[in-house]
Structure 1
């Protein structure tokens, strides 16, 4: 069996990638970490057909000259790669065309060779759709909050009355750029205190996700790596002493504890992961005061370095290194 070669497609600054790459280097595993924003500006990608197959080489000339033969790569970590960038000299239309051509070349060439992907780009893109996540989660036997997705202002008050509880809203995507590898970033879940026409009229600009507010006791952050589940309980309080709608809004106040995951919840999450074909995912679940588990969302490229800092012995970085190097299934 050939020695593992791990290709990490990421940004220049990424704390989560740093942790895993360091472990792989310590184990003597060859790693080619690549900032995709360097293509095609300071990198070349060449593939040619031969009598025995294909020969493909990626060369990065940003800081000296580094190269890797892609057919020799055994694992690829699609770790939040940066957008492609081109030489600033061409006109805007030419730059846009160059970026599109680069995406076709890289996507077509990289995904053509056999390797273990975490996760395949097309698989990850599909799994990011929050409406689809909620539908698949429900079909997998998981409980989800009552949900409304709309850009019709008249639908929200009706949904609010049907819930009979406070409602929350959040974006369909992150809403803000992700930070480079640290704690999760994005627009937190909001509990609207004002459903006046002025507020609701803003829906016309963009659809939002509205859900019943779960009277939660705590949250679970579940990290899945190659079929292994790592469950962390998140206890947090807001300014009034109760659990906040979204613990991301209160950094530094949470308590993190590793806990077991109920069998039925794990079975449902396995069905969810299998439905999407994901090798990795970061899942958020709210546990209400009756002990019921409510699936909230999944990030197929979620951060995890901060959890290793908070929970001694969790070692998510080590588990990812195991999976990428082929020492675990």
Structure 2
């Protein structure tokens, strides 16, 4: 068997089922992956950055040498508490660690033989919706007209000009109503006239307003290195839906194999290069003519729920193989014939669930690959 350098999974969430399942798949293939909350907490030891006029930059410690191959920069967080320090020193230590790691992450292009999934600077930039749409425009992708604003007059003009418009928050937010105890989440929704009546409300919170695509289905494309896995998402009924995540949360979503034209795949590959990403979950809306409209790419998106709905897509194997080989042109044969269903039936999953059940609250143990933030 080929000897691979150890992959490093950076996720600070103990309830991250994606990190747990990928580590399990790697170990099932004889590859011992490291799972750490941040580089500060890595079992690999301390890090140092060196720079001088003669030799330039070099790193030593955790990211030096041949010990670590690919790094999955998934849900990394800076250290927040320091048990051995005085209370008055906590803020100083948080600041110093944050700045130190910011330097480390800014230099991830140093040592080009190490694959980052994704590079922290590229990941941060790709979180911006308009950066994505600018790149989509450059790559020739079709996408709906979009306004990002908190100007009531601009928002009203946009809706009047385009008719049916969808409001989207920058990030999904979930909260608990103090009086009823019910849980609520912000998802995409059609803009209704009453939503535009109050200037103060619109001024108070900027939002994303996008022309609604009269779609036949959603196409979820999981880009893992050079491979693009497409799944068509539908509701269990014939009624239309704006945001498939609402249906997913109530188990009303189904999937079937999707098709991505060679032209669209080439444009999506160009988009990923433009954004500097090697992994991303891409959402496309397919209209009645079969044309694909780009909506967004989530550079740290969830993908196990797709394999849960459509077991024929080897998403867990693909991510694990890319991390094992440390290259985007990986071979699935690198990883044993394992699946997300196998992981859910494993002892490691049972152990993960025992630890994660409190933070996952009322979710099912096989939570369709969802990670709660």
Unpaired segments ≥5 residues, structure 1: 59-67, 178-184
CA distance in 2, matches of 1:48, 1:222: 38
Cα–Cα, structure 1 residues 253 and 199, in superposed 2: closer, same or farther, change >3 Å?
Answer: farther
Kept after mapping to 2: 8 A contact 1:56/1:71 = no
Q: Trace 1:43-192 onto structure 2 (pairs within 5 A).
A: 45-47=46-48, 56-58=60-62, 72-87=67-82, 90-91=86-87, 94-109=89-104, 111=108, 112-114=110-112, 115-163=114-162, 165-175=163-173, 187-192=186-191
Provide Cα deviations, 1:96-141, integer angstroms capped at 9, x if missing partner: 3322321232343463455111001001001111011111112211
Look up the match of 1:28: 30
Per-residue CA shift, 1:216-265, capped at 9, x if unaligned? Answer: 11000000011110000001267xx4221101112211110122201221
Give me the whole-angstrom Cα distance separating, in 2, the residues matched to 1:140 and 1:20.
Answer: 32
Equivalence for 2:242: 245
TM-score scaled by length of structure 2: 0.74
Q: TM-score, normalised by structure 1?
A: 0.84
How much is the aligned-residue C-alpha RMSD, in angstroms? 3.0
Contact 1:220 / 1:287 at 8 angstroms: preserved in 2?
Answer: yes
Q: Determine the C-alpha separation between the residues in 2 that align with 1:136 and 1:231.
A: 21
CA spacing shift, 1:54–1:166, aligned 2, 3 Å: closer
Mapped to 2, the partners of 1:170 and 1:311 lie a distance apart of: 27
298 and 199 in structure 1: CA distance in 2 versus 1, 3 angstrom threshold: farther
Please state how far the C-alpha of 1:31 moved relative to its aligned partner. Answer: 1.0
Partner of 2:80: helix, strand, or coil? coil
CA deviation map 1:133-182 (0-9, x unaligned): 1111122111111111111011112111211x3111111234459xxxxx
Deviates more, 1:197-206 or 1:18-27: 197-206
Deviation at 1:45, TM superposition (A): 2.2
Which residue number in structure 2 is paired with residue 14 of structure 1? 16
Tell me: CA distance 1:72–1:293, structure 2 relative to 1, closer, same or farther (3 Å). Answer: same
Question: Are the aligned partners of 1:74 and 1:116 in contact in 2 as well (CA < 8 Å)?
Answer: yes
Residue 55 of structure 1: CA displacement?
6.8
CA distance in 2, matches of 1:193, 1:126: 31
Alpha-carbon distance change, 156 to 237 in structure 1, aligned in 2, over 3 angstroms: farther
Name which of structure 1's ranges 73-82 and 115-124 shifts more when overlaid on structure 2: 73-82
Contact 1:130/1:297 (8 A) holds in 2: yes
Give the whole-Å Cα distance in 1 for the aligned partners of 2:322 and 2:287: 33
Q: Conserved in 2, the CA contact under 8 Å of 1:225 and 1:280?
A: yes
Aligned length: 308
CA contact (8 A) 2:174 2:185 kept: yes
Question: CA offset at residue 40 of structure 1?
Answer: 6.3
Residue 298 of structure 1 corresponds to 297
Structure 2 vs 1, CA of residues 176 and 56 (structure 1 numbering), >3 Å: closer, same or farther? farther
Cα distance in structure 1, aligned partners of 2:86 and 2:44: 17
